[in-house]
Structure 1
Amino acid sequence: MTRQDLASLIRNIPDFPIPGIQFKDITTLIGNGQAFSEVIDRLHERYQNQQIDAVVGIESRGFIFSAPLAYRLGVGLVPIRKPGKLPAATYQIEYQLEYGTNRLEIHRDAFQPGARVLVIDDLLATGGTIAAACDLIEMAGGQVAELAFVIELTFLNGRERLRERPVFSLIQF
């Protein structure tokens, strides 16, 4: 499958979750076994020969891609979650959303010091969530090797916010 084939499987939902937003629905992509496998295969091909010590998935759709990729790479999976979902001691960060704030957490003992971490999420929009995730990873002793996304909304310029970090996206809109 080509990138264009994969992109064609992403459904656009107008006015969700609020009016004016064009939501990129990945359920049609991950519901297609061949397409889902292709996404994981492409990510695996990119990272299989790189020094990656752990894969981080961002709650919740990042888990869909991070778990099979961590498995394929033979490394551990570290979740970054919403508050109150992790049972042990955590680092927490609050970050700005378009309308208000949100919080994320990671276990304090998530990494060995200096671990090279690949961060996976489904979509890069403005970069706020992923920037907060990077701060958490560094608080926990990890080093961000690369940020990987299945989808990038280029018109929102999320890469600009992350300019000092390597960013990869499979599909751009």
Structure 2
Amino acid sequence: MSSGTAKVRHARVADLSHVAQLASEHAAFEQAAPPPADLAVRLEALLFGGPAPRLRCFVAELGDGHVIGYASCAPEISTWGGTEYLHMDCLFLREGHRGLGVGPMLMDAVRSEARRLGLALVQWQTPAWNTDAIRFYERLGAEAKEKRRFSLSVD
């Protein structure tokens, strides 16, 4: 998949330091705590460890190989629906590369992965204040469902 000089492909081990840097930029953009310093190592285990890794990651890169964005996703279960779906955990493009058609390419890669896995639905969330992302997702035909996300430490 390509848009002008950009293309989207599955992440490789060599991309993980770039993905970790993008995840750090993504966290800063969303005003969240930074990811752990060893994120690239953790991602390697999640993406490439074991016989059937659950996490998938796509990178958007320019023709010169410069990684400018990523999307990550993993299959999840809906108890209410009695089915599996693909949860898109992250989608992020660096400032200056948004609005150029690369975001839809990343979404297409995630949707293709869902189809490949036999899943009929992709779900994700975005902060309520991120109106640019909300407009982007609505232009793609996505529908929002209001919920609040909680997290609880087990320690």
Identify whether the pair has TM-score above 0.5, normalized to the shorter chain.
Answer: no
- TM-score tier (shorter): 0.3 to 0.5
Name the TM-score, length of structure 2 as normaliser.
0.36
TM-score for the superposition, normalised by structure 1 = 0.33
